[in-house]
Amino acid sequence: MDGIGDVAVGVKRGSDELLSGGMYNSPSSGLSSISDTTSNGSDSKKLRVEDRVGDAPPSRVLHIRKLPNDVSETEIIALGLPFGKVTNILTLKGKNQAFLELSTEEAAMTMVNYYSAVTPHVRSMPVYIQYSNHKELKTDNSNQSGGTPTSGSNSSVGGGAPSSPVLRIIIDNMFYPVTLDVLQQIFSKFGTVMKIITFTKNNQFQALLQFNDPTNAQQAKGALDGQNIYNSCCTLRIDYSKLVNLNVKYNNDKSRDYTRPELPAGDGQPSLDTSMVSALSKDSSSLLGKIPGALSPLSAAAAAAAAAGRVALSGHTGASGVLLVSNLNEEMVTPHSLFTLFGVYGDVQRVKILFNKKDSALIQMADMNQAQLAMSHLNGQKMYSKIIRVTMSKHQTVQLPRDGLDDQGLTKDFTNSPLHRFKKPGSKNFQNIFPPSATLHLSNIPQDITEEDLRVLFSNSGGTVKAFKFFQDHKMALIQMTTIEEAIQCLIDLHNYNMGNNHHLKVSFSKSTI
């Protein structure tokens, strides 16, 4: 094993960002040699790494190896985002390696445990991660050269004169939820974010984001356009907006004016814990802010949902995983219909429709991460012709009725339900979580069922079938309804529908269109 000498540091993204590194070994192989000292012109900024062989004890500093040659910092940071706050990053030029520092050792341990079971990939190439020998990253910042332009640099980023401080952002491949707060924390690294408005157009999540200065917008566009928020998904597509100023009327989970915290939340929208928003907006040392609540070992989807989890609403963290759903159609809704819909995003444990307010219900998910995922996807969707509101509840659990008390079937315990989608660790269902869409994915279809059979079945749920497509083996299909509301209704009615011979149809939302 070669000794490990001085290692020249790599790229620094901005003057407000710490530059640091640590050592992290592959779970499947020993530490690779980094014995030579590289020099980058007159770059004298170097990191001293101790000579050590073998597995290191847990550390919040991680070493990532076998990265693609032209990997970006954003792609590296995306590996750590689902598990906690990334406080430092250091790339080693020409060595296909990087050091990543997380805010806590617990977050780093969660990341290592997860990737020991699921090999991480960057641009379809497997990469290797292990603990560093160092507990934190330290560098000598004197005489920096050779890095990318910092925020104080005269070099232009992105090319061309910026025409507006307002950026238009489209999220492609949005497999996991992206919230307004996620965008604020990513883009605030390039300057002061003043206002954000989010909306859905052409079935795509979009946002308008206003900086205090056009130059900051130019730098953000140059650095982030085409980058992924999470590994291999949630791709940022950024253009300049024709607008030069955004008019924000409400501060809620759809729009925000950070210069006017006194704005109302608007009709039916959750109010914000502005102290937490302020604290997050001041945090410029990581791509995303710290996740509310403690992290446990996470599935891929739940981990990303946790990273995208919005700030606490109504003054509480919602760490219990209980949701409050309001504006329900009390003539139509049942505990089972809520179980089926919310079960797309997590394993529903209990449902209670409130006895004295039957247009509201409490839903207890398996954990906080599943609750946040369900909230992000279902808040504002139409169920039984009414737009439902989903927020975190202050309740820790959903109480079952006392023995002998008849609550008219308003409370149901689904803890031991065989219909949970995510009970099995590593289930493919974790990779197939998508926002509600007009196109549904069908599986477990019997061989003797025809396209016409399925068209009739789904039409009988009150919708109109717009398009249909069988997969090659005829065990799976896509069916496209006219509206998302119709698709939601069909999923509630027909998921686990008995097609005969004990074939139960499986229905989920699809990212595809026909």
For every residue of 76-87, DSSP letters joined together read: HHHHHGGGS-EE
What are the DSSP E strand ranges found in 49-179? 61-65, 86-92, 97-102, 121-122, 125-126, 128-131, 166-172
Mean pLDDT of 186-215: 88
pLDDT band (50, 70, 90) for residue 472? confident
The Cβ of residue 462 has, within 10 Å, a number of other Cβ atoms equal to 12
Q: How far apart are CA 12 and CA 335, in angstroms?
A: 52
Provide the percentage of residues in the chain whose pLDDT is more than 90. Answer: 35
CB 274 within 8 A of CB 259: no
Dihedral sign, Cα of residue 506, residue 375, residue 435, residue 115: negative
Order of strands across the sheet that contains 233-240? 228-230, 233-240, 166-172, 204-211, 193-201, 255-257
Amino acid identity, residue 257?
D
pLDDT band (50, 70, 90) for residue 449? very high
The pLDDT score that the predictor gives to residue 4 is 34
Answer with the residue of higher pLDDT: 103 or 419: 419
CB 133 within 8 A of CB 114: no
DSSP-assigned letter for residue 375 = H
Q: Highest mean pLDDT range out of 70-79, 110-119, 401-410, 493-502?
A: 493-502
The Cβ of residue 57 has, within 10 Å, a number of other Cβ atoms equal to 9
Mean pLDDT of 306-314: 33
Torsion angle of C-alpha atoms 15, 17, 21, 27, degrees rounded to 10: -140
The pLDDT score that the predictor gives to residue 232 is 60
Collapsing DSSP to helix, strand or coil, 438 comes out as coil
Of 69-73, 98-102, 137-141, 421-425, the range with the lowest mean pLDDT is 137-141
Collapsing DSSP to helix, strand or coil, 313 comes out as strand
The pLDDT score that the predictor gives to residue 279 is 33
Of 120-129, 134-143, 402-411, the range with the lowest mean pLDDT is 134-143
State yes or no: pLDDT of 2 exceeds 80: no
Of 112-121, 179-188, 244-253, the range with the lowest mean pLDDT is 112-121
Total residues belonging to the chain: 514
Provide the percentage of residues in the chain whose pLDDT is more than 70. Answer: 71
CB 414 within 8 A of CB 342: no
Q: What is the CA radius of gyration of the chain?
A: 25
Going from the C-alpha of 444 to that of each of 169, 349, 477, 502, the distances in angstroms are 38, 25, 9, 10
**What pLDDT, in 10s, does the model give residues 225-252?**
888 877 666 789 999 998 989 999 998 8
CB 220 within 8 A of CB 194: no
**What pLDDT, in 10s, does the model give residues 397-447?**
999 988 767 778 899 999 999 999 988 766 677 767 888 999 999 999 999
The pLDDT score that the predictor gives to residue 231 is 61
> Residue 327: which of 288, 359, 355, 361 has the closest Cα?
359
pLDDT band (50, 70, 90) for residue 270? very low
Both structure tokens of 341: 């819909």
Mean pLDDT of 39-50: 36
The pLDDT score that the predictor gives to residue 153 is 30
Mean pLDDT of 483-510: 94
Query: 3: alpha, beta or left, given left = phi > 0 and alpha = psi -120 to 50?
Result: beta
State yes or no: pLDDT of 141 exceeds 60: no
> Residue 224: which of 185, 257, 179, 266 has the closest Cα?
185
Collapsing DSSP to helix, strand or coil, 415 comes out as coil
The pLDDT score that the predictor gives to residue 320 is 65
- Mean pLDDT, the chain, rounded, equals 74
